Amino acid sequence: LQRDRPAAEFRNALAELLPKRFAQRLCEVWLAHLGPQRPLRQFNLPELKQVASLLQDWPLITSGTEGYRAAEVTLGGVDTDELSSSTMQSKKVPGLYFIGEVVDVTGWLGGYNFQWAWASGHAAGNAA
């Protein structure tokens, strides 16, 4: 994006890649020190790497589950046409992988969705 739209504000460019409210909150809380209202052309490589590191290394901790008996599936997500079928890597953003329920794949209840999550995670993990 920096090459394609150097005059775009960083926060607006980020909102094109992430859910808008998430990008907004990210800029307010964790990236405010970088001046997210600045144009992309004003960001240097260390600053961009800092943002990438924040997003890639963000630990997500689950608080619990209701177990397999209550497990369900969601609909929608990243279109499979946007991904490599062998690596799950985004065709638009190299190094970005999508797996499991964030991908628009739905199977019957009874373990099919778990298998998809495990298989797509395995493919992405091997490729990353």
Helix residue ranges, H only, 6-111: 10-17, 20-29, 45-56
- How far, in Å, CA of 89 to CA of 83, rounded? 5
Residue 110: per-residue pLDDT: 72
Residue 24: per-residue pLDDT: 94
Contact 89, 96 (CB under 8 A): yes
CB atoms under 10 Å from CB of 32, counted, come to: 11
Chain-centre distance for alpha carbon 46: 21
Tell me: pLDDT of 123 over 80: yes
Give residue-wise pLDDT tens across range 47-104: 999 999 988 888 888 898 888 777 776 778 999 999 999 999 999 999 999 999 899 9
Tell me: pLDDT of 41 over 90: yes
What share of the chain in percent tops pLDDT 90?
Answer: 66
Mean pLDDT, the chain, rounded, equals: 90
For the chain, how many helices (H) and strands (E)? Answer: 4, 0
